Amino acid sequence: MENGTKWLSVMRNPVKQFESLYTYYGWHNNFHVGLHDFLKYPVNYFAPFHTSTGRVSSRNPMCYDNGLDARFLEAGNPAVERFISLLDSQLDLVLIADYFDESLVLLKDILCWSLEDVAYMVSNSRIKESIVELTPNEEQAIKEWNWADQLLYQHFNRTLHEKIDAFGRDKMAEEVGKLQRLKESLKADCVREKLTSGDKRVWYPQGVKVNSFIANPDARDPYLCSQLCRPELEYLDKMRRIMDPGDGRDRSNQQAVSSSKDNKSNNVQTPNKEESLAAVVIPKTVDSGIKSTDRGNETRSQIVLEGKERGVNGVSEGGAGLPKAM
């Protein structure tokens, strides 16, 4: 990467993320139970599934996406704290989906962008009726099952708020207000129709209704609006073609991730809320218990735990720019 490259990642409350992932990736088909039953005895469903079908990041997925395979780590393993410290030393900004507008204000500040550069529309989000309601005990079960993600989120949620304090709370409130007005203006101008089903460009999880938009051809900026209304998977394909012109794959009308054991890309996840941003960041320095090697455009980070090596593959995609609304 060129000098001056900014390293980014994005994280989300593990409770909200896990509930979203369970629906989006159809894990009820893999584990043969719904989320409520899974959370009663998660290890009982998880262990045979991973033995028979290979790697799927259905435990500590945020650690997995950022370079640490913590699916099989017991709570308290020191490798997680080392990994968090490593990420903290390498990342310029970790956006938090639960404070997405504040995160974008900080992002535009470090990139010397304007608010217009980060204005967005929320698409590919489920309607309220398609979100699984969880009890407090079930929320706690998710935190315990994804204990490493919980530590990761707590750390970077704290650092985000420290950056907001340094930016200035009053200044941040003013900037967020301006951004929200820009978002409202874009939506009013760009959207001709809102759909929750029947959009052939969108993949719908079984029984789930998802928001999508049809662009207004008479908008002030038709091209901008067409991009803001472009569905998630279609936009992801466009980004991949920009980053790798030889990648002609078309996933616009396919399920996002297969659970088959020959799927080699299911560590890159784009669940159905504002979880996915521009860069997949993989650790690139040597730390106690963590070693990395670069192979062309692919970085393989190997996490050495208890005398065993578990590999995590990922592609560093820094500099890709922001996708459309999440």
**pLDDT tops 80 at residue 317:** no
Q: Tell me if 190 is assigned to some domain.
A: yes
The larger pLDDT score, comparing residue 125 to residue 136, is at 136
pLDDT for 181 equals 98
Cα–Cα distance between 310 and 69 in angstroms, integer? 7
Instruction: Tell me the range of 106-110, 198-202, 239-243 where mean pLDDT is highest.
Output: 106-110
Most confident of the following: 90-94, 124-128, 281-285, 298-302:
90-94
Q: What is the mean pLDDT of residues 132-152?
A: 97
Whether 1 maps to a domain, the answer reads: no
Higher pLDDT, 247 or 205: 205
Please tell me the predicted confidence (pLDDT) of residue 205: 85
**195 falls in which pLDDT band (50, 70, 90)?**
very high
pTM: 0.74
pLDDT for residue 251: 52
Please state, rounded to an integer, the average pLDDT across all residues of the chain: 78
Pairing of strands 298-305, 308-315: antiparallel
Confidence of residue 247 (pLDDT cuts 50, 70, 90): low
In a domain, 326, yes or no: no
Number of domains within the chain: 1
Q: Is the pLDDT of residue 302 over 80?
A: no
Is residue 325 in some structural domain? no
Examine residue 324 and state whether it is found in any structural domain, yes or no. no
Q: Which of 37-51, 177-191, 221-235, 267-281 has the lowest mean pLDDT?
A: 267-281
Least confident of 42-56, 180-194, 247-261, 305-319: 305-319
* Residue 300 reports pLDDT greater than 60: no
| Most distant CA pair in the chain, distance | 62
- pLDDT category at 193 given cuts 50, 70, 90 is very high
**Is residue 94 a part of any domain in this protein?**
yes
Check pLDDT > 60 for residue 179.
yes
In a domain, 228, yes or no: yes
pLDDT over threshold 80, residue 51: no
Q: Is the dihedral of CA 146, 152, 158, 160 positive or negative?
A: negative
Predicted confidence at residue 319, as pLDDT, reads 27
Identity (one letter) of the amino acid at 181?
R
Task: Give me the mean pLDDT over the 164-170 stretch.
Answer: 98
* Interatomic CA distance for residues 311 and 39, integer angstroms: 27
Query: What is the radius of gyration, based on Cα positions, of the chain?
Result: 20
Task: Report the pLDDT value the prediction gives residue 47, as an integer from 0 to 100.
Answer: 83
Structural domain boundaries, residue 126:
8-315
Confidence of residue 290 (pLDDT cuts 50, 70, 90): very low
pLDDT band, very low/low/confident/very high, at 248 (cuts 50, 70, 90): low
Say whether pLDDT at 94 is over 90: yes
The more confidently predicted of residues 291 and 159 is: 159
Q: Confirm whether 211 is domain-assigned.
A: yes
What is residue 207's predicted lDDT score, i.e. its pLDDT? 85
Q: State the average pLDDT over residues 9-18.
A: 97
